[in-house]
């Protein structure tokens, strides 16, 4: 299976895991990573979304970790779809990259076209003295959910792009090891076809 196919499988698993997680608990606006840290231009000028506001929001709501756990679960569900000769060390390194990924710049890129910094700051202030459950029944939540619907159109493409990039980065570091392992596997399994 190609790197792209594995990334697509992971994308579908992340979406499924996020849906299951949301149906069992409070629904949280979940960030989706992207590969680019380059800031796009916000339509909101001085009220453009800021990285620290996003970082605080992800921490206070737990949305970043919900996404990360879904993403890691998708990795576990899909790594058996890779060629059998890929070494375990490759998957260990993919998992480590996923654990270490800062989701804040990624969420910023997703949210910045539809959410003003002041809107997320208001939600963050609310969360300092209220629970996430109380946020869900607040006017802040209704506004954020409406705005999040606009972002959903881009989220799958951004997740796929980020996952492919991460896997390709790790693959590049393991390229020689994977090729050597492939050669050995093909010698031991002459009927195997990639």
Report pLDDT digits (tens) over 34-71. Answer: 344 444 566 777 888 899 999 999 999 898 999 899 98
Does residue 39 fall inside a structural domain?
no
Instruction: Kindly indicate the confidence band of residue 105, based on its pLDDT and cuts at 50, 70 and 90.
Output: confident
pLDDT of residue 24: 36
In a domain, 36, yes or no: no
Question: Is 32 inside any structural domain?
Answer: no
Residue 92 in any domain: the answer is yes
14-23 pLDDT per residue, tens: 543 443 334 3
Q: Which pLDDT score is estimated for 141?
A: 75
So what's the pLDDT on residue 21?
Answer: 39
What is the number of domains present in the chain? 1
Q: Does the structure show a pLDDT above 50 at 28?
A: no
Contact 123, 144 (CB under 8 A): yes
Which three-class secondary structure state does DSSP give residue 15?
helix
Quote the pTM value. Answer: 0.71
Whole-number CA gyration radius for the chain: 19
What would the mean pLDDT of 76-91 be, rounded to a whole number?
91
Contact status, residue 12 vs residue 94, Cβ threshold 8 Å: no
Tell whether 96 is covered by a domain. yes
Q: pLDDT, tens digit, for every residue of 128-178?
A: 888 888 887 887 777 777 666 656 667 777 778 888 899 999 999 999 999
Q: What is the pLDDT of residue 160?
A: 81
**What residue numbers bound the domain in which 52 lies?**
3-26+48-188
Residue 75 lies in a domain: yes
Q: In sequence order, what are the residues at sequence separation of 6 or more whose Cβ sits closer than 8 angstroms to the Cβ of residue 107?
A: 31, 32, 33, 54, 57, 58, 63, 64
Position 80 in a domain: yes
Average pLDDT over residues 4-31: 44
Give the pLDDT of residue 112: 81
Residue 31 has pLDDT above 50, yes or no: no
């Amino acid at each position: 299976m190609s790197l792209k196919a594995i990334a697509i499988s992971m994308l579908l698993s992340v979406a499924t895991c996020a849906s299951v997680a949301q149906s069992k608990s409070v629904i949280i606006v979940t960030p989706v990573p992207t590969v680019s840290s380059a800031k796009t231009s916000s339509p909101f000028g001085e009220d453009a979304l800021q990285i620290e506001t996003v970082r605080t929001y992800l921490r206070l709501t737990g949305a970043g970790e919900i996404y990360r756990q879904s993403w890691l679960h998708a990795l576990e569900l899909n790594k058996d779809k890779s060629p059998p000769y890929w070494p375990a060390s490759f998957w260990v390194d993919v998992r480590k990259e996923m654990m270490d990924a800062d989701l804040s710049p990624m969420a910023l890129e997703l949210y910045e076209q539809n959410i003003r910094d002041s809107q997320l700051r208001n939600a963050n202030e609310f969360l300092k003295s209220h629970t996430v459950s109380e946020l869900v029944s607040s006017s802040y939540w209704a506004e954020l959910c409406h705005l999040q619907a606009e972002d959903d159109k881009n989220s799958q493409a951004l997740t796929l792009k980020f996952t492919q990039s991460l896997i390709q980065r790790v693959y590049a570091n393991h390229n020689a090891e994977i090729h050597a392992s492939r050669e050995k596997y093909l010698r031991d399994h002459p009927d195997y076809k990639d």
